[in-house]
A and B are shown apart, each in its own frame.
Chain A
Amino acid sequence: MRRAGAGRKIPPGILLAIALVVGGAALIIAQVTNTPAGRAAQQTGDGAAAEAGRVATGPARAGEGFFSRIGALWGSADRIEQLERENQELQAWRDLAERLAERNARYEALLRMPPDAFGDGADVENSIAAQLVLDSGGPFTRTLVANAGDDHGVKVGYIAVNENGLIGRVVTVGQRSSRILMVDDYNSRIPVMGEASRVRAVLAGQATRPPDLYTAPFAMQSPRLDFIVGAQALREGERVITSGDGGLFPRGIPVGVARRSGDGWRVALAASQQPIDFVRILPFVGVERPEDAPTTDQGPPLAAASSYSNIGRETMTPPLSAPTPAAPAPRREPRPNVRQTGAPAQTPPPAATPAPQAAEPPPEQPAGPQE
Protein backbone atom coordinates (compact mmCIF):
# COMPACT_ATOMS: atom_id res chain seq x y z
CA MET A 1 0.00 0.00 0.00
CA ARG A 2 1.42 3.32 -1.06
CA ARG A 3 1.70 5.99 1.59
CA ALA A 4 2.68 9.59 1.33
CA GLY A 5 5.74 10.41 3.34
CA ALA A 6 9.32 9.43 3.83
CA GLY A 7 8.74 5.76 4.55
CA ARG A 8 7.01 5.00 1.24
CA LYS A 9 7.38 1.42 0.02
CA ILE A 10 7.43 0.23 -3.54
CA PRO A 11 4.07 -1.43 -4.18
CA PRO A 12 4.23 -5.18 -4.73
CA GLY A 13 2.60 -4.82 -8.15
CA ILE A 14 5.50 -2.70 -9.38
CA LEU A 15 8.08 -5.06 -7.93
CA LEU A 16 6.32 -7.97 -9.56
CA ALA A 17 6.09 -6.15 -12.88
CA ILE A 18 9.80 -5.29 -12.80
CA ALA A 19 10.66 -8.89 -11.98
CA LEU A 20 8.50 -10.09 -14.87
CA VAL A 21 10.12 -7.62 -17.26
CA VAL A 22 13.53 -8.96 -16.26
CA GLY A 23 12.20 -12.48 -16.73
CA GLY A 24 10.91 -11.58 -20.19
CA ALA A 25 14.29 -10.16 -21.16
CA ALA A 26 16.00 -13.31 -19.91
CA LEU A 27 13.55 -15.38 -21.93
CA ILE A 28 14.35 -13.45 -25.09
CA ILE A 29 18.08 -13.80 -24.54
CA ALA A 30 17.66 -17.53 -23.96
CA GLN A 31 15.81 -17.87 -27.25
CA VAL A 32 18.30 -15.83 -29.22
CA THR A 33 20.78 -18.63 -28.62
CA ASN A 34 18.27 -20.99 -30.29
CA THR A 35 18.52 -23.82 -27.80
CA PRO A 36 16.77 -27.16 -28.39
CA ALA A 37 14.64 -26.48 -25.31
CA GLY A 38 13.46 -23.21 -26.81
CA ARG A 39 12.59 -24.87 -30.11
CA ALA A 40 10.77 -27.66 -28.29
CA ALA A 41 8.77 -25.12 -26.31
CA GLN A 42 7.86 -23.29 -29.50
CA GLN A 43 6.80 -26.53 -31.20
CA THR A 44 4.71 -27.60 -28.23
CA GLY A 45 3.10 -24.18 -28.07
CA ASP A 46 2.40 -24.25 -31.80
CA GLY A 47 0.73 -27.61 -31.45
CA ALA A 48 -1.51 -26.46 -28.64
CA ALA A 49 -2.33 -23.20 -30.40
CA ALA A 50 -3.12 -25.05 -33.61
CA GLU A 51 -5.55 -27.34 -31.80
CA ALA A 52 -7.18 -24.37 -30.11
CA GLY A 53 -7.36 -22.52 -33.43
CA ARG A 54 -8.92 -25.51 -35.15
CA VAL A 55 -11.60 -25.78 -32.47
CA ALA A 56 -12.22 -22.04 -32.37
CA THR A 57 -12.54 -21.60 -36.12
CA GLY A 58 -14.66 -24.69 -36.72
CA PRO A 59 -18.07 -23.06 -36.20
CA ALA A 60 -16.97 -19.91 -37.97
CA ARG A 61 -15.83 -21.86 -41.00
CA ALA A 62 -19.05 -23.83 -41.09
CA GLY A 63 -21.08 -20.63 -40.87
CA GLU A 64 -18.94 -18.94 -43.48
CA GLY A 65 -19.57 -21.79 -45.91
CA PHE A 66 -23.29 -21.68 -45.28
CA PHE A 67 -23.58 -17.95 -45.81
CA SER A 68 -21.37 -18.01 -48.89
CA ARG A 69 -23.62 -20.67 -50.42
CA ILE A 70 -26.67 -18.58 -49.60
CA GLY A 71 -24.99 -15.56 -51.14
CA ALA A 72 -24.08 -17.52 -54.25
CA LEU A 73 -27.73 -18.31 -54.88
CA TRP A 74 -28.33 -14.61 -55.36
CA GLY A 75 -27.79 -13.66 -58.97
CA SER A 76 -26.72 -17.14 -59.97
CA ALA A 77 -28.29 -16.79 -63.44
CA ASP A 78 -26.20 -13.72 -64.25
CA ARG A 79 -23.17 -15.47 -62.94
CA ILE A 80 -23.78 -18.50 -65.14
CA GLU A 81 -24.15 -16.29 -68.22
CA GLN A 82 -20.95 -14.48 -67.40
CA LEU A 83 -19.10 -17.75 -66.89
CA GLU A 84 -20.38 -19.12 -70.21
CA ARG A 85 -19.10 -16.04 -72.02
CA GLU A 86 -15.73 -16.36 -70.31
CA ASN A 87 -15.70 -20.05 -71.14
CA GLN A 88 -16.15 -19.35 -74.85
CA GLU A 89 -13.30 -16.86 -74.80
CA LEU A 90 -11.12 -19.27 -72.90
CA GLN A 91 -11.75 -22.02 -75.46
CA ALA A 92 -10.05 -19.88 -78.09
CA TRP A 93 -7.19 -19.13 -75.76
CA ARG A 94 -6.83 -22.80 -74.93
CA ASP A 95 -6.54 -23.74 -78.60
CA LEU A 96 -3.87 -21.12 -79.07
CA ALA A 97 -2.04 -22.22 -75.94
CA GLU A 98 -2.09 -25.85 -77.03
CA ARG A 99 -0.66 -24.98 -80.44
CA LEU A 100 2.06 -22.87 -78.88
CA ALA A 101 2.83 -25.50 -76.27
CA GLU A 102 3.18 -28.12 -78.96
CA ARG A 103 5.49 -25.91 -80.97
CA ASN A 104 7.45 -25.06 -77.86
CA ALA A 105 7.81 -28.76 -77.03
CA ARG A 106 9.20 -29.40 -80.51
CA TYR A 107 11.71 -26.59 -80.12
CA GLU A 108 12.76 -27.86 -76.73
CA ALA A 109 13.20 -31.37 -78.12
CA LEU A 110 15.22 -29.95 -80.97
CA LEU A 111 17.45 -28.07 -78.56
CA ARG A 112 17.53 -30.97 -76.09
CA MET A 113 16.51 -28.73 -73.25
CA PRO A 114 15.94 -30.28 -69.85
CA PRO A 115 12.34 -30.00 -68.64
CA ASP A 116 11.44 -26.74 -66.94
CA ALA A 117 8.36 -27.82 -65.08
CA PHE A 118 6.49 -26.62 -62.03
CA GLY A 119 8.63 -26.92 -58.94
CA ASP A 120 11.51 -28.73 -60.55
CA GLY A 121 12.89 -30.93 -57.78
CA ALA A 122 9.78 -30.73 -55.63
CA ASP A 123 8.09 -34.00 -54.86
CA VAL A 124 4.65 -32.97 -56.01
CA GLU A 125 3.29 -36.51 -55.91
CA ASN A 126 3.92 -36.77 -52.18
CA SER A 127 2.75 -33.32 -51.23
CA ILE A 128 0.86 -32.92 -47.98
CA ALA A 129 -2.43 -31.05 -47.91
CA ALA A 130 -3.11 -29.02 -44.78
CA GLN A 131 -5.51 -26.40 -43.59
CA LEU A 132 -4.56 -23.08 -42.16
CA VAL A 133 -5.50 -22.87 -38.50
CA LEU A 134 -3.68 -19.77 -37.29
CA ASP A 135 -2.84 -16.56 -39.04
CA SER A 136 0.02 -14.25 -38.24
CA GLY A 137 -1.13 -12.78 -34.97
CA GLY A 138 1.51 -10.17 -34.38
CA PRO A 139 2.86 -7.02 -35.95
CA PHE A 140 6.46 -8.19 -36.11
CA THR A 141 6.43 -11.47 -37.99
CA ARG A 142 4.42 -12.96 -40.84
CA THR A 143 3.86 -16.63 -40.19
CA LEU A 144 1.02 -19.10 -40.56
CA VAL A 145 0.28 -22.32 -38.72
CA ALA A 146 -1.03 -25.30 -40.69
CA ASN A 147 -2.55 -28.40 -39.18
CA ALA A 148 -0.02 -30.89 -40.53
CA GLY A 149 3.15 -31.76 -38.70
CA ASP A 150 5.66 -34.47 -38.06
CA ASP A 151 2.95 -37.12 -37.90
CA HIS A 152 2.02 -36.25 -41.48
CA GLY A 153 5.60 -36.24 -42.72
CA VAL A 154 6.23 -32.51 -42.75
CA LYS A 155 9.84 -31.49 -42.29
CA VAL A 156 11.56 -28.15 -41.85
CA GLY A 157 12.36 -26.66 -45.23
CA TYR A 158 9.36 -28.02 -47.08
CA ILE A 159 7.68 -25.57 -49.42
CA ALA A 160 4.14 -24.28 -48.85
CA VAL A 161 2.07 -23.37 -51.89
CA ASN A 162 -1.60 -22.90 -52.59
CA GLU A 163 -3.48 -23.16 -55.84
CA ASN A 164 -2.13 -19.80 -56.97
CA GLY A 165 1.48 -19.86 -55.99
CA LEU A 166 4.16 -19.80 -53.35
CA ILE A 167 3.21 -19.01 -49.76
CA GLY A 168 6.42 -19.69 -47.91
CA ARG A 169 8.56 -22.28 -46.26
CA VAL A 170 8.14 -24.48 -43.20
CA VAL A 171 10.36 -23.21 -40.39
CA THR A 172 9.05 -25.11 -37.37
CA VAL A 173 7.43 -28.51 -37.18
CA GLY A 174 5.43 -29.80 -34.26
CA GLN A 175 3.74 -33.13 -33.83
CA ARG A 176 0.57 -32.15 -35.64
CA SER A 177 1.24 -28.61 -36.77
CA SER A 178 3.82 -26.64 -38.65
CA ARG A 179 4.68 -22.98 -38.85
CA ILE A 180 5.21 -21.43 -42.27
CA LEU A 181 7.31 -18.34 -42.81
CA MET A 182 5.45 -16.32 -45.41
CA VAL A 183 7.27 -14.82 -48.36
CA ASP A 184 6.40 -11.30 -47.23
CA ASP A 185 8.02 -11.70 -43.81
CA TYR A 186 10.97 -9.38 -43.28
CA ASN A 187 13.19 -12.44 -42.84
CA SER A 188 12.25 -13.97 -46.16
CA ARG A 189 14.73 -13.75 -49.03
CA ILE A 190 13.93 -15.87 -52.06
CA PRO A 191 15.84 -16.10 -55.33
CA VAL A 192 13.39 -15.49 -58.17
CA MET A 193 13.44 -14.72 -61.86
CA GLY A 194 11.19 -13.33 -64.52
CA GLU A 195 9.57 -16.15 -66.42
CA ALA A 196 10.02 -14.61 -69.85
CA SER A 197 13.01 -12.33 -69.41
CA ARG A 198 14.89 -14.71 -67.07
CA VAL A 199 15.99 -11.70 -65.07
CA ARG A 200 17.32 -12.85 -61.71
CA ALA A 201 16.48 -11.09 -58.47
CA VAL A 202 16.01 -11.64 -54.78
CA LEU A 203 12.51 -11.29 -53.40
CA ALA A 204 12.83 -9.46 -50.10
CA GLY A 205 9.86 -9.55 -47.75
CA GLN A 206 9.31 -6.37 -45.81
CA ALA A 207 6.20 -6.69 -43.69
CA THR A 208 6.24 -2.94 -43.28
CA ARG A 209 3.68 -1.73 -45.75
CA PRO A 210 0.03 -2.10 -44.97
CA PRO A 211 -1.60 -4.52 -47.36
CA ASP A 212 -3.15 -3.12 -50.50
CA LEU A 213 -6.44 -4.87 -49.97
CA TYR A 214 -8.19 -5.24 -46.70
CA THR A 215 -11.00 -7.21 -48.29
CA ALA A 216 -9.13 -10.47 -48.49
CA PRO A 217 -8.08 -12.26 -45.36
CA PHE A 218 -4.42 -13.17 -45.10
CA ALA A 219 -3.63 -10.84 -47.96
CA MET A 220 0.10 -10.81 -48.15
CA GLN A 221 2.06 -7.68 -48.77
CA SER A 222 4.01 -7.01 -51.93
CA PRO A 223 7.65 -7.84 -51.35
CA ARG A 224 10.44 -5.89 -52.97
CA LEU A 225 12.78 -7.16 -55.67
CA ASP A 226 16.39 -6.62 -54.69
CA PHE A 227 19.68 -7.19 -56.47
CA ILE A 228 18.06 -7.40 -59.88
CA VAL A 229 20.42 -8.65 -62.55
CA GLY A 230 19.51 -7.08 -65.88
CA ALA A 231 16.63 -5.07 -64.49
CA GLN A 232 16.05 -3.26 -67.77
CA ALA A 233 14.79 -6.50 -69.28
CA LEU A 234 12.15 -7.03 -66.60
CA ARG A 235 8.68 -6.14 -67.82
CA GLU A 236 5.67 -4.78 -66.03
CA GLY A 237 3.22 -7.59 -65.44
CA GLU A 238 5.75 -10.33 -66.09
CA ARG A 239 5.25 -13.51 -64.13
CA VAL A 240 7.85 -14.07 -61.45
CA ILE A 241 8.85 -17.61 -60.52
CA THR A 242 11.37 -19.12 -58.15
CA SER A 243 14.75 -19.53 -59.77
CA GLY A 244 15.99 -22.36 -57.59
CA ASP A 245 19.27 -20.57 -56.92
CA GLY A 246 20.69 -21.46 -53.55
CA GLY A 247 18.90 -24.77 -53.42
CA LEU A 248 16.26 -23.89 -50.83
CA PHE A 249 13.32 -23.54 -53.19
CA PRO A 250 12.42 -25.56 -56.25
CA ARG A 251 12.73 -23.81 -59.55
CA GLY A 252 9.61 -22.74 -61.38
CA ILE A 253 7.05 -22.18 -58.64
CA PRO A 254 4.91 -19.14 -59.49
CA VAL A 255 5.43 -16.30 -57.05
CA GLY A 256 3.50 -13.42 -58.54
CA VAL A 257 3.58 -10.62 -61.04
CA ALA A 258 6.25 -7.92 -61.31
CA ARG A 259 4.98 -4.41 -60.62
CA ARG A 260 7.01 -1.24 -60.90
CA SER A 261 7.02 0.75 -57.69
CA GLY A 262 8.86 4.04 -57.78
CA ASP A 263 12.44 3.34 -58.68
CA GLY A 264 12.24 -0.31 -57.82
CA TRP A 265 10.11 -3.35 -58.40
CA ARG A 266 7.62 -5.19 -56.26
CA VAL A 267 5.83 -8.45 -56.74
CA ALA A 268 2.06 -8.73 -56.47
CA LEU A 269 1.95 -12.13 -54.86
CA ALA A 270 -0.06 -14.79 -56.64
CA ALA A 271 -0.89 -16.59 -53.41
CA SER A 272 -2.80 -13.62 -52.07
CA GLN A 273 -5.27 -13.50 -54.94
CA GLN A 274 -7.65 -15.49 -52.77
CA PRO A 275 -7.87 -16.08 -49.06
CA ILE A 276 -5.34 -18.66 -48.00
CA ASP A 277 -7.19 -21.59 -46.52
CA PHE A 278 -5.76 -24.87 -47.71
CA VAL A 279 -2.06 -25.16 -48.34
CA ARG A 280 -0.02 -27.82 -50.06
CA ILE A 281 3.29 -28.64 -48.42
CA LEU A 282 5.82 -29.94 -50.93
CA PRO A 283 8.76 -32.09 -49.98
CA PHE A 284 11.81 -30.70 -51.67
CA VAL A 285 15.29 -32.00 -52.11
CA GLY A 286 17.55 -29.58 -53.84
CA VAL A 287 19.44 -30.36 -57.00
CA GLU A 288 22.45 -32.48 -56.22
CA ARG A 289 25.80 -30.80 -56.65
CA PRO A 290 27.99 -32.42 -59.29
CA GLU A 291 30.73 -32.86 -56.71
CA ASP A 292 28.40 -34.95 -54.57
CA ALA A 293 27.89 -37.59 -57.25
CA PRO A 294 30.95 -37.59 -59.50
CA THR A 295 31.07 -39.79 -62.55
CA THR A 296 34.07 -41.26 -64.27
CA ASP A 297 33.23 -39.39 -67.46
CA GLN A 298 35.58 -36.44 -67.63
CA GLY A 299 34.13 -35.26 -70.93
CA PRO A 300 35.80 -33.03 -73.44
CA PRO A 301 37.77 -29.98 -72.41
CA LEU A 302 35.72 -27.06 -71.20
CA ALA A 303 36.17 -24.90 -74.29
CA ALA A 304 35.01 -27.58 -76.68
CA ALA A 305 31.97 -28.41 -74.60
CA SER A 306 30.30 -25.04 -74.81
CA SER A 307 26.61 -25.35 -75.37
CA TYR A 308 26.76 -23.34 -78.57
CA SER A 309 29.11 -25.68 -80.37
CA ASN A 310 27.30 -28.76 -79.11
CA ILE A 311 23.93 -27.53 -80.20
CA GLY A 312 25.37 -26.47 -83.51
CA ARG A 313 26.83 -29.86 -84.21
CA GLU A 314 23.61 -31.61 -83.38
CA THR A 315 21.05 -29.40 -84.96
CA MET A 316 22.41 -26.96 -87.46
CA THR A 317 25.46 -25.79 -89.23
CA PRO A 318 27.21 -23.06 -87.28
CA PRO A 319 27.30 -19.72 -89.06
CA LEU A 320 30.55 -18.61 -90.57
CA SER A 321 30.97 -15.95 -87.95
CA ALA A 322 30.72 -18.44 -85.16
CA PRO A 323 33.56 -18.22 -82.73
CA THR A 324 35.95 -21.07 -82.97
CA PRO A 325 36.61 -22.93 -79.79
CA ALA A 326 39.74 -21.91 -78.03
CA ALA A 327 42.60 -24.31 -78.19
CA PRO A 328 42.35 -26.63 -75.23
CA ALA A 329 45.00 -26.47 -72.62
CA PRO A 330 47.30 -29.47 -72.67
CA ARG A 331 46.21 -32.10 -70.23
CA ARG A 332 48.54 -33.73 -67.83
CA GLU A 333 47.52 -37.21 -68.78
CA PRO A 334 44.90 -38.29 -71.26
CA ARG A 335 41.93 -40.03 -69.69
CA PRO A 336 39.72 -42.44 -71.57
CA ASN A 337 36.28 -41.12 -72.42
CA VAL A 338 33.84 -43.86 -71.55
CA ARG A 339 31.00 -42.40 -73.60
CA GLN A 340 32.81 -41.39 -76.74
CA THR A 341 34.51 -44.63 -77.53
CA GLY A 342 37.63 -44.27 -79.50
CA ALA A 343 37.38 -40.54 -80.12
CA PRO A 344 39.95 -38.34 -78.43
CA ALA A 345 38.44 -35.95 -75.94
CA GLN A 346 39.65 -32.80 -77.72
CA THR A 347 38.52 -33.77 -81.17
CA PRO A 348 35.05 -32.65 -82.15
CA PRO A 349 33.06 -35.78 -82.87
CA PRO A 350 31.34 -36.29 -86.20
CA ALA A 351 27.68 -35.43 -86.44
CA ALA A 352 26.55 -39.01 -86.07
CA THR A 353 28.31 -39.61 -82.77
CA PRO A 354 26.50 -38.97 -79.54
CA ALA A 355 26.71 -35.44 -78.23
CA PRO A 356 29.07 -34.69 -75.37
CA GLN A 357 27.71 -34.66 -71.87
CA ALA A 358 27.01 -30.97 -71.66
CA ALA A 359 24.43 -31.07 -74.43
CA GLU A 360 22.75 -34.26 -73.34
CA PRO A 361 19.66 -34.22 -71.22
CA PRO A 362 20.36 -35.10 -67.63
CA PRO A 363 20.44 -38.85 -67.02
CA GLU A 364 17.33 -38.85 -64.84
CA GLN A 365 15.27 -36.20 -63.22
CA PRO A 366 14.62 -37.28 -59.66
CA ALA A 367 10.92 -37.87 -59.17
CA GLY A 368 11.08 -38.35 -55.46
CA PRO A 369 13.15 -37.21 -52.57
CA GLN A 370 16.75 -38.12 -52.88
CA GLU A 371 18.36 -40.00 -50.07
Chain B
Amino acid sequence: MIMRAPSRRVLRAWGLVIAVASVILPALPMGPIFAQPPLPLAVLWAAYGWAAEDESGWRAPIALTVLGLIHDQLAGGPYGLFPILYLAAYLIGRGAAVIMSAPNLISLWGGFIFTTLVTVAIAWLVAPLALGDNVSILPYAEAATITAILFPLVRPLYMSAAPSLRLNAGARR
Protein backbone atom coordinates (compact mmCIF):
# COMPACT_ATOMS: atom_id res chain seq x y z
CA MET B 1 0.00 0.00 0.00
CA ILE B 2 1.38 3.35 -1.00
CA MET B 3 0.87 6.16 1.52
CA ARG B 4 0.77 9.57 0.00
CA ALA B 5 2.37 12.37 1.91
CA PRO B 6 -0.10 14.99 3.04
CA SER B 7 -0.28 17.97 0.78
CA ARG B 8 1.20 21.32 1.66
CA ARG B 9 -2.29 22.69 2.15
CA VAL B 10 -3.20 20.02 4.69
CA LEU B 11 0.02 20.56 6.61
CA ARG B 12 -0.56 24.28 6.72
CA ALA B 13 -4.10 23.76 7.96
CA TRP B 14 -2.78 21.59 10.79
CA GLY B 15 -0.22 24.25 11.56
CA LEU B 16 -2.95 26.84 11.86
CA VAL B 17 -4.99 24.54 14.11
CA ILE B 18 -2.02 24.01 16.42
CA ALA B 19 -1.32 27.74 16.53
CA VAL B 20 -4.91 28.52 17.49
CA ALA B 21 -4.98 25.70 20.02
CA SER B 22 -1.78 26.91 21.64
CA VAL B 23 -3.45 30.24 22.29
CA ILE B 24 -6.79 28.97 23.51
CA LEU B 25 -6.07 25.73 25.33
CA PRO B 26 -3.85 27.18 28.09
CA ALA B 27 -6.70 29.49 29.02
CA LEU B 28 -9.32 26.79 29.36
CA PRO B 29 -9.63 25.09 32.73
CA MET B 30 -9.56 21.67 31.17
CA GLY B 31 -7.07 19.80 33.24
CA PRO B 32 -3.42 19.42 34.05
CA ILE B 33 -2.10 19.05 30.52
CA PHE B 34 -2.82 22.58 29.41
CA ALA B 35 -2.87 24.13 32.85
CA GLN B 36 0.45 25.74 33.25
CA PRO B 37 2.98 27.55 31.21
CA PRO B 38 5.51 27.03 29.84
CA LEU B 39 3.80 25.66 26.79
CA PRO B 40 5.24 26.18 23.33
CA LEU B 41 4.15 29.35 21.64
CA ALA B 42 3.03 27.77 18.42
CA VAL B 43 2.13 31.13 16.94
CA LEU B 44 5.84 31.89 16.79
CA TRP B 45 6.29 28.82 14.57
CA ALA B 46 3.45 30.05 12.42
CA ALA B 47 4.83 33.57 12.21
CA TYR B 48 8.25 32.33 11.17
CA GLY B 49 6.91 29.80 8.71
CA TRP B 50 4.26 32.00 7.18
CA ALA B 51 6.83 34.73 6.70
CA ALA B 52 8.70 32.44 4.34
CA GLU B 53 5.73 30.94 2.58
CA ASP B 54 2.83 33.34 2.78
CA GLU B 55 1.60 33.72 -0.74
CA SER B 56 -0.82 36.56 -0.38
CA GLY B 57 1.33 38.84 1.71
CA TRP B 58 -1.45 40.21 3.88
CA ARG B 59 -3.10 37.10 5.28
CA ALA B 60 -0.31 36.21 7.68
CA PRO B 61 -0.02 39.62 9.41
CA ILE B 62 -3.76 39.80 9.82
CA ALA B 63 -3.97 36.27 11.21
CA LEU B 64 -1.07 36.91 13.58
CA THR B 65 -2.65 40.12 14.82
CA VAL B 66 -5.96 38.38 15.48
CA LEU B 67 -4.24 35.52 17.28
CA GLY B 68 -2.21 38.01 19.29
CA LEU B 69 -5.28 39.96 20.32
CA ILE B 70 -7.05 36.76 21.36
CA HIS B 71 -3.98 35.81 23.38
CA ASP B 72 -3.98 39.23 25.03
CA GLN B 73 -7.65 38.92 25.85
CA LEU B 74 -7.30 35.49 27.40
CA ALA B 75 -4.19 36.47 29.33
CA GLY B 76 -5.80 39.57 30.77
CA GLY B 77 -4.18 42.16 28.59
CA PRO B 78 -2.90 44.57 27.67
CA TYR B 79 -4.06 44.49 24.10
CA GLY B 80 -1.22 44.83 21.66
CA LEU B 81 1.54 43.00 23.49
CA PHE B 82 1.26 39.63 21.79
CA PRO B 83 0.51 41.11 18.34
CA ILE B 84 3.78 43.00 18.59
CA LEU B 85 5.68 39.84 19.54
CA TYR B 86 4.13 37.73 16.81
CA LEU B 87 4.48 40.39 14.11
CA ALA B 88 8.08 40.93 15.15
CA ALA B 89 8.70 37.23 14.59
CA TYR B 90 6.99 37.54 11.22
CA LEU B 91 9.18 40.47 10.16
CA ILE B 92 12.34 38.70 11.27
CA GLY B 93 11.20 35.63 9.40
CA ARG B 94 10.79 37.68 6.24
CA GLY B 95 14.26 39.04 6.69
CA ALA B 96 15.67 35.59 7.28
CA ALA B 97 13.94 34.28 4.14
CA VAL B 98 15.68 36.95 2.10
CA ILE B 99 19.06 36.37 3.69
CA MET B 100 19.11 32.57 3.50
CA SER B 101 20.18 31.58 0.03
CA ALA B 102 19.92 27.82 0.47
CA PRO B 103 17.92 27.06 3.56
CA ASN B 104 18.23 23.71 5.23
CA LEU B 105 16.97 22.42 8.54
CA ILE B 106 19.94 23.69 10.50
CA SER B 107 19.86 27.18 9.06
CA LEU B 108 16.11 27.39 9.48
CA TRP B 109 16.43 26.24 13.05
CA GLY B 110 19.16 28.76 13.71
CA GLY B 111 17.05 31.48 12.20
CA PHE B 112 14.14 30.50 14.40
CA ILE B 113 16.29 30.49 17.54
CA PHE B 114 17.47 33.98 16.64
CA THR B 115 13.86 35.00 16.09
CA THR B 116 12.75 33.76 19.50
CA LEU B 117 15.68 35.53 21.13
CA VAL B 118 14.65 38.77 19.48
CA THR B 119 11.06 38.33 20.65
CA VAL B 120 12.34 37.76 24.19
CA ALA B 121 14.29 41.01 23.91
CA ILE B 122 11.19 42.79 22.62
CA ALA B 123 9.15 41.35 25.48
CA TRP B 124 11.83 42.58 27.87
CA LEU B 125 11.42 46.08 26.43
CA VAL B 126 7.67 46.24 25.89
CA ALA B 127 6.22 44.20 28.77
CA PRO B 128 7.41 46.60 31.49
CA LEU B 129 5.89 49.48 29.54
CA ALA B 130 2.57 47.70 29.40
CA LEU B 131 2.49 45.83 32.69
CA GLY B 132 4.80 47.72 35.02
CA ASP B 133 8.36 47.28 36.20
CA ASN B 134 7.63 44.25 38.35
CA VAL B 135 6.72 42.06 35.43
CA SER B 136 9.03 39.15 34.76
CA ILE B 137 9.69 37.88 31.27
CA LEU B 138 11.17 34.65 32.57
CA PRO B 139 8.01 32.60 31.92
CA TYR B 140 7.90 33.96 28.40
CA ALA B 141 11.58 33.17 27.90
CA GLU B 142 10.97 29.61 29.12
CA ALA B 143 8.07 29.19 26.73
CA ALA B 144 10.14 30.65 23.89
CA THR B 145 12.98 28.26 24.67
CA ILE B 146 10.68 25.27 24.53
CA THR B 147 9.24 26.61 21.29
CA ALA B 148 12.71 26.88 19.80
CA ILE B 149 13.68 23.39 20.92
CA LEU B 150 10.60 21.82 19.38
CA PHE B 151 10.87 23.70 16.10
CA PRO B 152 12.43 20.89 14.00
CA LEU B 153 9.57 18.57 14.92
CA VAL B 154 6.84 20.88 13.70
CA ARG B 155 8.71 22.63 10.92
CA PRO B 156 6.97 20.69 8.13
CA LEU B 157 3.64 22.09 9.26
CA TYR B 158 4.73 25.65 8.75
CA MET B 159 7.46 25.71 6.17
CA SER B 160 9.37 23.57 3.78
CA ALA B 161 13.11 23.31 3.83
CA ALA B 162 13.26 22.61 0.13
CA PRO B 163 14.04 25.80 -1.77
CA SER B 164 11.88 24.77 -4.72
CA LEU B 165 8.77 24.80 -2.57
CA ARG B 166 9.38 28.16 -0.99
CA LEU B 167 7.97 31.30 -2.44
CA ASN B 168 10.49 33.69 -3.91
CA ALA B 169 13.12 31.05 -3.75
CA GLY B 170 14.86 32.62 -6.68
CA ALA B 171 15.49 35.76 -4.74
CA ARG B 172 17.81 33.89 -2.42
CA ARG B 173 20.00 32.49 -5.09
Complex contacts, A49 vs chain B, CB 8 Å: 27, 73-74
* Residues on the B chain within 8 Å of A208, using CB: 136, 138-139
Which among A2, A27, A57, A214 is the interface contact of B36 at CB below 8 angstroms? A214
Closest-by-CB residue of A relative to B134 is A186
Q: Are B30 and A207 in contact (CB under 8 A)?
A: no
Which residues of the partner chain A approach B24 to less than 8 Å between Cβ atoms?
A: 56, 137
Q: Whole-angstrom distance from the CB of B169 to the nearest CB of chain A?
A: 11
A21 touching B76 by the CB < 8 A rule?
no
Residues 122-152 of A, flagged 1 when their CB comes within 8 A of B and 0 if not, give 0000000000111111111101000000000
For residue A12, give the distance in angstroms from its CB to the closest CB of chain B: 5
Stretch at the interface among B82-90, B102-110, B150-158: B82-90
* Contact status B171-A4, CB under 8 Å: yes
Bound together, the chains give a CA A137 to CA B127 distance in angstroms of 16
Interface of B, helix, strand, loop or mixed by DSSP: helix
Interface residues on B, range: 35 or more
Per-position contact with B for A19-41: 1 when CB-CB < 8 Å, else 0? 01101111111011000000001
**Residue A64 lies at the interface, judged by CB distance under 8 Å to chain B:** yes
Q: Closest residue to A211 on the B side, CB-wise?
A: B36
Closest to B89 in A: A17
Known contacts A28-B78, A45-B73; A60 and B127 CB within 8 A of each other: no
Nearest-Cβ distance from residue B97 to partner chain A, whole angstroms? 10
29 contacts between A and B (CB under 8 A): A2-B168, A4-B171, A11-B94, A12-B57, A24-B68, A24-B81, A28-B79, A28-B129, A29-B129, A32-B78, A41-B79, A42-B77, A49-B73, A60-B30, A134-B29, A135-B29, A136-B26, A136-B75, A137-B23, A137-B76, A138-B26, A139-B140, A140-B131, A187-B134, A206-B136, A208-B136, A211-B36, A217-B36, A218-B29
**Which residues on A are within 8 Å of B, measured CB to CB?**
2, 4, 11-14, 16-18, 20-21, 23-29, 31-32, 41-42, 45-46, 49, 53, 56-57, 60, 64, 132-141, 143, 179, 186-187, 206-208, 210-211, 214-219, 275-277
**Chain B interface residues toward A at CB < 8 A:** 23-24, 26-32, 35-38, 54, 56-58, 60-62, 64-65, 68, 71-84, 87-88, 90-91, 94, 98, 123, 126-127, 129-132, 134-140, 142-143, 168, 170-171
